[in-house]
Amino acid sequence: MPDRDLQSIQQARDLLERARRAQRHYAEFSQSQIDGVIDAMAGAALAAAEELGRLAVEETGMGRPLDKKLKNEFSARNVYNFIRPLRTVGVIRDDRSRRVTEIAEPVGVVAAIIPTTNPTSTAIYKILIALKAGNGVVISPHPRAEKCIRRTVEIMERAALAAGVPEGLIGCMQAPTLEGTQELMSHKLTGVVLATGGSAMVRAAYSSGKPAFGVGPGNVPAYIERSATVDQAVLNILVGTTFDYGTICSSEQAIVCDRVIAPQVRQALERLRGYWVNRDEAERLAQAMVLPGPLINPAFVGQSPQKIAEMAGLDVPPDASVLLVPLEGVGRDYPLSMEKLSPVLAYYEVEDWREACERCHSLLKYGGMGHTLGIHSNDEEVVLQFALKKPAFRITVNTPTTLGAIGFTTALDPSMTLGCGAVGGNITSDNISPLHLMNVKRLAWEIRPHGLSLGSHASGGVQVQAGSQVSAPAPPAPQRPPAPRAEAAGAARSEVPSLDPESLRSLVREYLRARGLAAEGGVRLPAPLPPPAAPPATKPAAAPAERKVALDLICEEDVRRAQGEGYKLVVGPRTRVTALARDLGERAGVFLAE
């Protein structure tokens, strides 16, 4: 398509304008009306879960249709059940004891970036939470998952329109490009960016100049501690790493186990059809899977163990559930210690939980800071100590990390976007929900006296009184008796001291003498100024364009004034023009080059 990048940019602008107009109307919906919209969309997505899962696998070539269906159902059911009771309109909390009332305010339009790994389930989730918070949403689909994402948006938009939302509230880019997505994220009408994808996309979201929620990679270790129920722990780990062939960012990437229970762990892995990769096979696997950077080869993401082995030139059993790679270290010298997003697990043995702490820490540092960690143990003290020392914000216990981190098997907030906190370069460590896509106004009444009063006429400032009582400071002794108070038309006038010129000069001399400032010849006060004469008739001031004077700074208000009064704004080589002023001024044609 010629000029696809320009078409994509223009489409992003058009969709944002439509969504913003629709959102202004949608912001007037009541809580019950919005909840009716959420009910309709979730129901439609749930009914289409199988269709969308099949389309996602057919288009992307990643994962398994049944698991895609389950992820779609998770977004349409579990996420829905969590967000449905939330109050997101008007007064959402009223704390009578603190006398603070909290009022929800939508952010406007959400720019939602959808990945190729979980395309349909992430689209369902983001549309639901955006509209639950009273926002519009514009979707930027991954180019490799464009059709299945557009189909998801179509199904949910049709349900939302039937429930009464205005046209344009939900939009989806038809020609997604990098340039169009950047325009979507940085446009002035975008309220917030909700980015899920690779590290480069998340960095672009945080560099867009807009508030952004992005997530980092999840090189997730799973530690089996000596008190664990080994068979159950191994089952949980393999369920997690093989679910949809590892495409969820919280899926297990490495096993770390205590050496004392290693024989049981190995036996359990073999019973569940884990295939141990030998040294030569590990080298060939690493060369095929890991690109310079290092980066994971996207052709291997979300593939079965058999497909991975075939592409790497290995021969594995047709029933192998996972490829197990024993490693001695972490980092560039051990390429398969990174996040692989596939059923390939690194394997480590350690002496105890303290050494396991170090190993897990190094794995998180190599591409998973702040994301997720799993521990399998029946010793609650070890679990607590382990959690206290790890830079991960979701630490799941005795459950698959894949499902526990997103809130499927745990009480964590159900979500398809998992924040990694400051250590992971993210703005939050939360599981993202509608509460992150709205602002909260707070109405606060005074509940305690401030204990302050205005200072006296002589000292000025504010005086703090003893205790909590407020009392006015005593006035200074007057220099001379106040003038008699006059009253007119029954209204009392305030008392104003009156000083004759000589008394005023005497006070000034005393003030200056006390500070060593009085001249030897005394103080000469300037004679009073004569009353101003009537100004001579003059020509009206020339408009800025006629004076040909370039301004240092031009803001939006300058442009509006020039547009309203019909003159030009002169722009020189050193003139700074704000972004909003530039957009408005260029449309209005008020700029004139120096």
Question: For residue 493, is it within any domain?
Answer: no
Give the C-alpha separation, 161 to 180, whole Å: 26
Beta-carbon contacts of 218 under 8 Å, excluding residues fewer than 6 positions away, are: 249, 250, 251, 253, 339, 368, 371, 372, 405, 418, 420
Q: How many CB atoms lie within 10 A of CB 489?
A: 4
Bridge partners of 170? 137
First and final CA of the chain: distance in angstroms? 40
Residues 60 and 196 in one domain: yes
pLDDT one-digit tens code per residue, 204-261:
888 888 999 988 788 999 999 999 999 999 999 999 999 999 999 999 999 999 999 9
Residue 573: inside a domain, yes or no?
yes
Predicted TM-score (pTM) of the model is 0.77
Tokens of 473: 């400071």
- What residue numbers bound the domain in which 128 lies? 4-215+437-442
Tokens of 392: 């991960």
Please indicate, yes or no, whether residues 151 and 224 belong to a single structural domain of this protein. Answer: no
Rounded to an integer, what distance in angstroms lies between the CA atom of residue 325 and that of residue 345? 6
Please give the tally of structural domains in the chain: 3
Per-residue pLDDT for 343 more than 50? Answer: yes
Q: Which residues contact 57 (CB under 8 A, 6 or more apart)?
A: 63, 64, 65, 68
Residues 207 and 341 in one domain: no
Q: What is the pLDDT of residue 309?
A: 96
d(CA 149, CA 137): 14
Residue 277 sits in the same domain as residue 191 = no
Q: Cis ω on the peptide bond leading into residue 294 (within 30° of 0)?
A: yes
Query: Distance (Å, rounded) from C-alpha 201 to C-alpha 113?
Result: 9
34 occurs within a structural domain: yes
Tokens 């051990």 belong to 334
- Where residue 81 sits, what CATH number does that domain have? 3.40.605.10
Per-residue model confidence as pLDDT tens digits over 64-97: 999 999 999 999 999 999 999 999 999 999 999 9
Q: How far apart are CA 398 and CA 382, in angstroms?
A: 13
Whether residues 252 and 387 fall in one domain: yes
**Among residues of the chain, what percentage have pLDDT more than 90?**
68
CB 56 within 8 A of CB 148: yes
- Which residue numbers are catalytic? 249
Q: Which residues contact 166 (CB under 8 A, 6 or more apart)?
A: 21, 22, 25, 26
Between 253 and 509, name the one with better pLDDT.
Answer: 253
User: Does 146 share its domain with 249?
Assistant: no
* Angle subtended at Cα 216 by Cα 213 and Cα 218, rounded to the nearest 5 degrees: 140
pLDDT digits (tens, 9 = 90+) for 305-341: 999 999 999 999 999 999 999 999 999 999 999 999 9
The string of DSSP letters for 34-71 reads: HHHHHHHHHHHHHHTHHHHHHHHHHHH--S-HHHHHHH
Residue 211: inside a domain, yes or no?
yes
Cα distance between residue 99 and residue 447, in whole Å: 7
Nearest to 394 by CA among 419, 427, 377: 419
Instruction: Specify the DSSP class assigned to residue 259.
Output: G
Q: Are residues 241 and 204 in the same domain?
A: no
Assign residue 291 the CATH number of its domain: 3.40.309.10
Q: Residue 495 above 50 pLDDT?
A: no
pLDDT tier, 493 (very low <50, low <70, confident <90, very high otherwise) = very low
Separation of alpha carbons 314 and 310, rounded Å: 6
Return the axis-axis angle of helices 31-47 and 49-60, rounded to nearest 10°.
Answer: 60
Reply yes or no on whether the pLDDT at 537 is more than 60: no
> For residue 249, is it within any domain?
yes
pLDDT digits 0-9 by tens, 152-193? 999 999 999 999 999 999 999 998 899 999 999 999 999 999
Domain presence at residue 100: yes
Tell me the pLDDT band of 546, cut-offs 50, 70 and 90.
very low
515: confidence class by pLDDT, cuts 50, 70, 90: low
Largest distance between two CA atoms of the chain: 112
- The pLDDT assigned to 323 comes to 98
Q: In whole angstroms, give the CA distance from residue 340 to residue 346.
A: 10
Q: Tell me, what DSSP letter sits at residue 384? A: H
Reduced to 3 states, what is the DSSP secondary structure of residue 301? Answer: coil
285 in Cβ contact with 336 (< 8 Å): yes
pLDDT in tens, 553-568: 787 778 888 888 888 8
Q: Specify whether 138 is located in the same domain as 181.
A: yes
Residues 242 and 137 in one domain: no
Q: Alpha helices of 113-164 — where are they, by DSSP H?
A: 119-132, 146-162
Answer yes or no: are the C-beta atoms of 579 and 559 closer than 8 Å: no
Taking the CB of residue 585, how many other CB atoms lie within 10 A of it? 23
